[in-house]
Structure 1
Amino acid sequence: MGRQRWLLMVILALTAASIYVLTQFPLKLGLDLRGGSQLTIQVNPTAEIKTITEQQLEAVQKVIENRINGLGVSEPVVQTVGQNQISVQLPGIDDPGQAQRVLGGTAQLEFREQKAGSEGQFGAENVILRELQIKQAALRNSQDQAAIDENAAAIKRSSEAIAGLFEKPALIGKDLTDAYPQQSGADQWAVGISFSPSGGEKFAELTKKLAGTGRSIGIFLDNVPISTPTVDIQYAQTGIQGGGATISGNFDAKSANELGIQLKGGSLPLPIQIVENRTVGASLGRDSIQRSVYAGLGGLFLVFLFMVLYYRLLGIIASIALVIYALLTLAAFSADS
């Protein structure tokens, strides 16, 4: 009798826990039930890699999966299509622009040393780039696509001119172990980064070399300068230790988070192009879902009715056991999602 009472208490506890899990962590629906974003990504060859192999396509797929994990999407579908395309389905993401920004950027991060004697030219080029970026922000609210494209091309030329004033990269994205958004002021955001042990040593050596010289560390993302800080002379003996750094720039909370996701997910080994990006509605529809629920409940009721009429007390016990089993199963899926 004591054993049966103990088992009953365990069953009741598991049932209560299942109900709690289902109320706190509702099931996350897939693309067909809740809608979301669907992207088709084309992987492009380079001058060095003219033919894309299956292994290279899988490497790009892995980076995309890492970035999607940073978005917190439940049940994403990422699969290769043909020899050079990847299909991505993101349930619940109703902002296709965010998905394109996070998945589409190469996210090749580089830390470079400014060349000696380039201070004057760098200052002039930096002013030009900032003016172009301010103009681009204003143009985004207009409908003049030609002006937007023309100014974007000017920004690219200016970025390339600035990149030419810096040495080859001393650190790259592979030297990072983590990247995360952090608030640096009331309305200011930055991206904190952590280096690997070897990356930390490289960063300390780079900052030691530039400390007090007035020359900048160029932090480039996809060959575009996003920050060009100088290093104070107090670090001339040891460089900046600690294995970490902060990337400041014109970030808000959203853009800092997106850059953190890109950097943490890794840089893409090959350039990509998003050839399709669209919002997908729930294909089954609310009415179809309701009809399915009603049909399922009706079927369960008929099963329970048959069990009770045919097996009497044993049928009632079996029906209760079926309900408990269903709750446990749904709770397990809900907690896992």
Structure 2
Amino acid sequence: MTLRRFYKRIAIISALLVIAISSLTLTEFKIGQFERGGNGLLGLELGLDLQGGSHLVYQAVDSETGEPIIPRQEQMDSLKQSIERRVNASGLGEPIIQLLGDNRLLIQLPGVRDTKRAKSLIGETAQLNYKERTLNVARKIPGIEPGSLLNVSAIDLNETITDVTTNQSTLSNTSSSPMPANLQPLPGLLLEFSDEGAIAFSNLLTRLETSILPLEGTNDRYPSYLTIQSDNSTEMPLQISYRPLLMNPTTLEWMTSNTAPLINKADSKNSFIINLSVQYASKDTDSIMESFTSEFGGSPETIQLGEIIGRVDQAIPGGLTGEDMDRAFPGQHQTTNLPIINIVFNDEGARKFGEITTKLANTPDLLVIELDGQELIASRVINPITNGAAYIEGGDFTYERVQDLALLLESGRLPLPINLIQERTVDAILGSDSLKRSLVAGLIGLGLILLFMILYYRMSGVIAAIALIIYATLLLGIFKLLPVTLTLSGIAAAILSIGMAVDANILIFERMKEELRYGRTVPTAINIGFNRAWSAIRDSNISTLITCGVLFWFADTLGASIVKGFAITLAIGVLISMFSAITVTKTILQLLGMGILGKKPMIFTPFSPKSINQKNNKE
């Protein structure tokens, strides 16, 4: 070996050490666009199991059925980029996002404690839709044809009612005491339908009951009504909801009472009883039943039944969507100071928005804005909006929620919907405890190895200890510069790679020991020992690298991030251990072998070479 090559290796090792030590000394550093630094020891990036955080796995699904699908690779790449933009802009930290297989996405958020907010930012598709909501749409009851109503009777609900067709009691007074003489009559209708008509009327009751429930995600109610019109009456048709409705004087919202339904199934087949006491509450008590009977006591042909649908949502003509939006940013309402989302449309969106607001202006109908199918706002339009700017406000809006929604809209909708299929949260205290225990285990293991090497191999062991310290420094420097996110499995792999580095040194030292026992000089024993040990070191490390590749492939396919981190860290450790054993250890040994220590082979091996020489002479 020439001195030039020897000095070149020393220069390379020294340069690598300077770079590694410099990177580890600075917690954070930036050189141009190259920026490194983390929140862990020495500025290393720590994974979920060491600093706490959220582990989320999402799967691509069909937008209509919700079933898993296999999207195109371009869609998954676009999905990954969209989520990265959202999380980075939200201030939640830098996510670790990996594609798993064909349709899954692994998202790790180290240090994130607001898991609910993170899932909202990641999982919402951010599909903005605009709808036109028409209120109180009248129509015929589906399935109720002429002749479906067989009989109609005007009744007093306070009295015992007998079905005129079956001669059976359909409503009775359950009180054992006689009815008070001055009890106000409760007008009602007894309707009897054909079999098909009864089914259609039952379906109507289901729709009426559902309509009085608040719309999902809001406090808004849009009750539907049964309408009854008699040919014998000149008044407007009666409108009956499923239950009595009250208007909240403060919020001007509908409220339902806990009273019994106004429309009930009677005891007799295909018959229904309708309570009209609300509609006739303002009538004169003495003449209430007389006027009621005259209006509704005729033949069924004089009665017309109908339905008023509380709300009908339909897409805006021209297809106004989130694609027509140019900008979205949070703000405050000038009057109420409540948080709002400001929206600025592009030219095409401004035209569409102007057309729909012109159509809805000064009408009872509403403009509805939905995000991912959930209603954000349903508002009346006072004046046309033609300047291409609007805002969204909501009763449950907070400043943080407004910022997140504006971010979702600004970053654009996800290219395809995703469902959360796996979630794991690691407490920060547990992660900190795991890190301390891992460091203690690593230091104890390293100390025991160094002690064994020094006691058994003497000077060679000291050199191996120095090489291991250099190896550990280079390994940590590589972890920070790449960067590698350290996890518990990664630390285990790093400790294992230290053992493998020691194994390479042991192979070299054993070959050196054999040569020294046969009387070789120290420099010669070093060269021969390395040459003979190289094939075993090479083959074992290549086998380990192949195993790491197999582990990485299976972990990447199955989404086992723990195994994947172990494989990557072990592979890096193996490569650096080969460099440490073949370059660092050999260079230090050769440096010492050329000096005065090279004339004392006894300090490089636990056995005396003289005994071997004497044995060889005897033979």
Give the TM-score normalised by structure 2. Answer: 0.34
Between 1 and 2, higher relative CO (CA 8 Å, sep ≥ 6) is seen in 1
1:44 counterpart (31, 38, 61): 61
Please state how far the C-alpha of 1:88 moved relative to its aligned partner: 0.8
Please state how far the C-alpha of 1:114 moved relative to its aligned partner: 2.9
CA-atom RMSD, angstroms? 4.2
Please give the residue correspondences for 1:1-337 in structure 2 after superposition, counting only pairs within 5 Å: 27-29=37-39, 30-32=45-47, 34-46=51-63, 51-115=70-134, 118=137, 128-129=213-214, 133=218, 164-168=312-316, 170-184=319-333, 188-233=338-383, 235=384, 239-241=385-387, 243-250=388-395, 251-281=397-427, 285=434, 287=436
Report the secondary structure of 2:329's partner residue: strand
| Separation (CA, whole Å) in 2 of partners of 1:132 and 1:75 | 31
Alignment correspondent of 2:186: none
| Separation (CA, whole Å) in 2 of partners of 1:116 and 1:163 | 5
1:243-268 deviation digits (Å, cap 9, x = unpaired): 32111112112222222222222222
| Separation (CA, whole Å) in 2 of partners of 1:162 and 1:271 | 31
1:7-52 deviation digits (Å, cap 9, x = unpaired): xxxxxxxxxxxx9x98xxx954344253322211111135699542
| Separation (CA, whole Å) in 2 of partners of 1:162 and 1:62 | 42
| Separation (CA, whole Å) in 1 of partners of 2:116 and 2:76 | 24
Preserved CA contact (<8 Å) 2:330 2:340: yes
Preserved CA contact (<8 Å) 1:31 1:280: no
Report the secondary structure of 1:90's partner residue: strand
Preserved CA contact (<8 Å) 1:39 1:278: yes
Preserved CA contact (<8 Å) 1:100 1:277: no
Report the secondary structure of 1:249's partner residue: coil
Please state how far the C-alpha of 1:83 moved relative to its aligned partner: 0.5
Report the secondary structure of 1:268's partner residue: coil
Alignment correspondent of 1:4: none
Preserved CA contact (<8 Å) 2:325 2:343: yes
Report the secondary structure of 2:213's partner residue: helix
Aligned residues with identical type, % of pairs: 29
1:204-260 deviation digits (Å, cap 9, x = unpaired): 222222222332111112223221112224x3xxx331x321111121122222222
Preserved CA contact (<8 Å) 1:163 1:223: no
Report the secondary structure of 1:206's partner residue: helix
Give the TM-score normalised by structure 1. Answer: 0.59
Preserved CA contact (<8 Å) 2:38 2:46: no
Stretches of structure 2 lacking an aligned partner (at least 5 in a row): 1-25, 30-35, 40-44, 140-208, 221-308, 444-479, 484-619
Inter-CA distance 221–34: structure 2 relative to 1 (3 Å threshold)? same
User: Match of 2:353, as an amino acid?
Assistant: F
| Separation (CA, whole Å) in 2 of partners of 1:97 and 1:31 | 22
| Separation (CA, whole Å) in 1 of partners of 2:53 and 2:217 | 34
Report the secondary structure of 1:57's partner residue: helix
| Separation (CA, whole Å) in 1 of partners of 2:382 and 2:439 | 65
Inter-CA distance 229–79: structure 2 relative to 1 (3 Å threshold)? same
Inter-CA distance 270–98: structure 2 relative to 1 (3 Å threshold)? same
Please state how far the C-alpha of 1:128 moved relative to its aligned partner: 3.3
Please state how far the C-alpha of 1:87 moved relative to its aligned partner: 0.7
User: Match of 2:411, as an amino acid?
Assistant: G
1:98-120 deviation digits (Å, cap 9, x = unpaired): 11111112221111223486499
| Separation (CA, whole Å) in 1 of partners of 2:216 and 2:406 | 26
Stretches of structure 1 lacking an aligned partner (at least 5 in a row): 1-18, 136-160, 295-329
Alignment correspondent of 2:490: none
| Separation (CA, whole Å) in 2 of partners of 1:102 and 1:209 | 34
User: Match of 1:63, as an amino acid?
Assistant: S
User: Match of 2:79, as an amino acid?
Assistant: V
Inter-CA distance 162–117: structure 2 relative to 1 (3 Å threshold)? closer
Preserved CA contact (<8 Å) 2:87 2:93: no
Larger radius of gyration between Structure 1 and Structure 2: 2
Preserved CA contact (<8 Å) 1:38 1:89: yes
Please state how far the C-alpha of 1:57 moved relative to its aligned partner: 1.6
User: Match of 1:194, as an amino acid?
Assistant: V
The number of aligned residues is 244
1:310-333 deviation digits (Å, cap 9, x = unpaired): xxxxxxxxxxxxxxxxxxxx9xx9
| Separation (CA, whole Å) in 2 of partners of 1:119 and 1:129 | 21
Preserved CA contact (<8 Å) 1:166 1:218: no
Preserved CA contact (<8 Å) 2:330 2:339: yes
| Separation (CA, whole Å) in 1 of partners of 2:57 and 2:326 | 29
Compare the two structures and name the one with the higher helix fraction.
Answer: 1
Please state how far the C-alpha of 1:81 moved relative to its aligned partner: 0.5
Alignment correspondent of 2:23: none
Please state how far the C-alpha of 1:166 moved relative to its aligned partner: 2.5
Alignment correspondent of 2:283: none
